[in-house]
Amino acid sequence: MYIDSDIEKQAMLAAIIESSEDAIISKDLTSRITSWNPSAERMFGYTQEEMVGQLIHILIPDDRKHEEDVIISKLKCGERVEHFETIRKTKEGKKLHISLTISPIKNAEGKIIGASKIARDITQQKLIEERLKILNDLSTTINAKLDVEVILQVVTDACTKAVGAEFGAFFYNKLDEKGASYMLYALSGAERSQFDKFGMPRNTKVFDPTFQGTEIVRSDNILMDPRYGHNSPHHGMPKGHLPVVSYLAVPVKSQHGAVIGGLFFGHPKEAMFSEEHEGLAVAIAAQAAIALENAKLLQEVNLLNKRKDEFIGFASHELRTPLATLKGFMEIAEEGGMPVELMFPKVRKQVERLEGIISDLLDISRIQAGKLELEFKRVSLLSLLKDSIDMVDISNHHLEIKYPGEDIRVCVDGQKVSQVIVNLLSNAVKYSDKNSSIFLNAALLGDQVEINVRDEGRGIAPEDLKRIFDQYYRAKSVPKDTTGIGLGLFISKVIIEAHAGRIWAESELGKGTTFTIRFPIDRP
């Protein structure tokens, strides 16, 4: 269509302005509004009647009033202002992010008499940008963190802000060194003291879906939720609890789907969490899960590294002691200071000590690599015990053996079980005085064999008794020059447990110690 008359052109422009999605406003050079289209009405909430003749400043928040002076001075110079992103306020006082394009209006003589202003509402776009930024910042911050508690706090703060919640909490299931589960939590918008007295949120109909990882719970008013208020003693929120009405809870799951915690948000007003907030919380929960898993892996790597360093230091020290003794003997031999036949037993002892340490270290590395392999064979228990006794020098003690009348054939890795018995007997010798008695008892208990090694030695203090089966643990009272590296009992425990058996110790300080092993006659 070709438009030639001015009237038609004007009508056409008016129609465009009327139907535009953007607010189109014109004003004179004193900032007084001269026209106001329907979109301006929708966007800012003021009608045309209310606005024409008013100063444009009515739309400008106090802290941005100076912007108008800059705009007007640019206009006076004939310059356009393009895509100027700023904030304006609606009649209700709500802040809008808008993008402004302002062009000078000239009269027939070319003189600037005012300006046309096109305002686009970019609040939504800004919101998305802001949230993407939160997500981005969050991922950079938390991926650089190793400390679980710091990650929990950063995530809780960021997510609480992102979803516009008044209160936020992150409950995180953590396992302690013994494998027991306990909860860590971080809060945002509330003091810890406000929470500590309420106990952990578990096992109630409201919290269950989050901790089970089955469901996201988003409620405009949790107080009206059918799941709410069924649990004793409070039947709802305990007195003094945060005033939560709007509620949002998202499970935090690992890559393999295990629930590692939950993010919870609350607001005292109704209907504060939208689907969009929910999506954002889910995205943050996924990021948090990755960061927490990374932190866990890195902590494990650090711990293993520390263990490895300790191990190398320890092993080299232990190997050096018998080597230094051997070197000393060699020097004496060279100088002819001791007859060779007298030296031989001493040298053999040190070589055996070296052998023992190396074989313990090898066992440990096999255990740590999960490669301790057992060769089950049916063997005579009597021969197994005899062979073990033969391997230990008990000549300075009285050994008393009690054995069931009839020989029992057991299905075990004979060499490994013998290693355990040798270790128990050697310890009994090592940790008790010369000439004291050592008792070796074997008995049949149903389909199990029980073997006890009892000594009348120094005994083990209760605080040590709890730890003697740990790697490298030696009782504090063991004199420094007592041979050993604290691995024998740890290895024994692994071996007996691999036979589906149990090993334990009972002891009284100064009176003696009894070690007991029990394992099935048949292969587990």
How far lies 270's CA from each of 250, 281, 286, 432, in Å?
A: 18, 18, 27, 74
Which residue's beta carbon is nearest to the bound ligand ADP? Answer: 484
Count of CA atoms in the C-beta half-sphere (13 A) of 216: 18
465 lies in the site for ligand ADP, by CB under 6 A: no
Nearer to ligand ADP, 194 or 436 (CB): 436
What's the residue count for the chain? Answer: 524
Nearer to ligand ADP, 146 or 319 (CB): 319
Stretch that binds ligand ADP, among 83-91, 251-259, 273-281, 455-463 (CB under 6 A): 455-463
CB of 457 to ligand ADP, least distance (A): 5
388 lies in the site for ligand ADP, by CB under 6 A: no
List, in sequence order, every beta strand (DSSP E) within 90-177: 95-106, 112-121, 167-175
Nearer to ligand ADP, 166 or 456 (CB): 456
457 lies in the site for ligand ADP, by CB under 6 A: yes
356 lies in the site for ligand ADP, by CB under 6 A: no
- Say whether 98 sits in a helix, a strand or coil: strand
| 407-446 positions binding ligand ADP, by CB under 6 A | 423, 427-428, 431
| 155-184 positions binding ligand ADP, by CB under 6 A | none
CB of 423 to ligand ADP, least distance (A): 6
Stretch that binds ligand ADP, among 124-132, 209-217, 398-406, 478-486 (CB under 6 A): 478-486
CB of 365 to ligand ADP, least distance (A): 16
Q: Of 22, 363, 455, 456, which lies in the binding site for ligand ADP, with binding defined by CB under 6 A?
A: 455
Stretch that binds ligand ADP, among 82-90, 255-263, 310-318, 487-495 (CB under 6 A): 487-495
32 lies in the site for ligand ADP, by CB under 6 A: no
487 lies in the site for ligand ADP, by CB under 6 A: yes
What is the β-pairing status of strands 23-28 and 33-36? antiparallel
Can you tell me the distance from the alpha carbon of 181 to that of 223, in angstroms, rounded to the nearest whole number?
30
Can you tell me the distance from the alpha carbon of 71 to that of 55, in angstroms, rounded to the nearest whole number?
14
What is the DSSP annotation of 29-49? Answer: TTSBEEEE-HHHHHHH---HH
468 lies in the site for ligand ADP, by CB under 6 A: yes
Nearest residue to 289 via CA among 468, 487, 152, 181: 152
Q: Of 161, 241, 474, 502, which lies in the binding site for ligand ADP, with binding defined by CB under 6 A?
A: 474
Question: For the chain, how long is the longest CA-to-CA vector?
Answer: 131
364 lies in the site for ligand ADP, by CB under 6 A: no
Can you tell me the distance from the alpha carbon of 9 to that of 24, in angstroms, rounded to the nearest whole number?
18
Can you tell me the distance from the alpha carbon of 103 to that of 80, in angstroms, rounded to the nearest whole number?
5
- Say whether 173 sits in a helix, a strand or coil: strand
Which residues are near ligand ADP by CB under 6 A? 423, 427-428, 431, 455, 457-458, 460, 468, 473-475, 478, 484-490, 513
